[in-house]
């Protein structure tokens, strides 16, 4: 981040990425939207458009889908954008959740991230405490070694106010040079009618490189069958991107609508 990519990139308006590249992924987006169309709105707090997560899990035997239509990172004259992004989480009894993540870098025309793991919240009260562990799966034939990410989570509920705090470490050999580091974040959310408005501070460091710190607001708006989620982060340090907006839609699907697994 932070390196000028040349005159051609500099002349490109930051809010106008190469739509020709995005157009090539339209079939993927359309297929995911068709699947998402059978989902209802999600009651969970979390967590696109934020970079942190929460100490909550999906309801048992319920799948939550979060589709990222676009995430842009603007740093100087350089744009990086991903579309589509997908988070599929499936809830199980005892506050256990299967977590999967997928990210496609539309500007590079390649898969940027695939992860699979679980979230477990053994202590679920007004203050919830738990963990999330992810296996960072290989995305290129040249790099076969998986990585790992482990995060401790906490959520405090105070009426309509939610405070989410988490932090952890990661090891990722997929970029070519092994990345070892930490990340942490805090989100404060407030429910107002059909909207949840929040603000996040997020930090990340790889090895001894400068710390990336971003902060910004997010809103989750219930429009009926979907939630629409918009977030805008701005960089607070030199190592962080200047601007990082994102747009998501989310929904949920009971895996057994007839309730045959209720209470099991």
CB-based contact 75:234 (threshold 8 Å): no
Query: Residue 102, exposed/middle/buried by CB under 10 A (0-12, 13-18, 19+)?
Result: buried
**Annotated domain spans of the chain:** 17-254
Range from 29-33, 100-104, 105-109 carrying the lowest mean pLDDT: 29-33
Please list, in sequence order, all residues whose beta carbon lies within 8 angstroms of the beta carbon of residue 257, skipping any fewer than 6 positions away: none
36: pLDDT confidence band, cut at 50, 70 and 90?
Answer: very low
CATH class of the 17-254 domain in this structure:
mainly beta
- The conformation of residue 211, written as its DSSP 8-state character, comes to P
Per-residue pLDDT of 252-262, as tens digits, reads 999 976 545 55
The pTM of this model reads: 0.80
């Amino acid at each position: 981040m932070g390196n000028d990519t040349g005159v051609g990139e500099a002349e490109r308006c930051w809010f106008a990425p190469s739509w020709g590249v995005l157009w090539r992924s339209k079939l993927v987006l359309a297929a995911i939207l068709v699947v998402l169309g059978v989902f209802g709105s999600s009651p969970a707090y979390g967590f696109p458009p934020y970079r942190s997560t929460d100490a909550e899990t999906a309801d048992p035997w319920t799948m939550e889908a979060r589709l990222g239509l676009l995430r842009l990172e603007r740093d100087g004259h350089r744009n990086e954008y991903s579309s589509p992004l997908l988070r599929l989480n499936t809830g199980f009894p005892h506050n256990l959740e299967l977590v999967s993540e997928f990210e496609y870098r539309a500007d590079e025309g390649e898969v940027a991230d695939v992860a699979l793991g679980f979230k477990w919240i053994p202590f679920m009260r007004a203050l919830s405490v738990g963990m999330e562990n992810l296996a960072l799966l290989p995305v290129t034939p040249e790099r076969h070694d998986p990585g790992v990410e482990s995060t401790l989570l906490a959520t405090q509920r105070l009426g309509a106010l939610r405070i989410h705090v988490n932090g952890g470490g990661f090891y990722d050999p997929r970029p070519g040079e092994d990345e070892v580091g930490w990340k942490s974040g805090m989100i404060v959310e407030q429910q107002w009618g059909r909207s949840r408005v929040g603000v996040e501070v997020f930090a990340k460091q790889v090895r001894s490189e400068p710390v990336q710190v971003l902060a910004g607001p997010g809103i989750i708006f219930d429009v009926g069958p979907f939630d629409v989620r918009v977030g805008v982060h701005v960089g607070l340090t030199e190592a962080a991107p200047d601007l990082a907006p994102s747009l998501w839609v989310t929904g949920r699907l009971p895996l057994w609508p007839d309730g045959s697994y209720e209470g099991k």
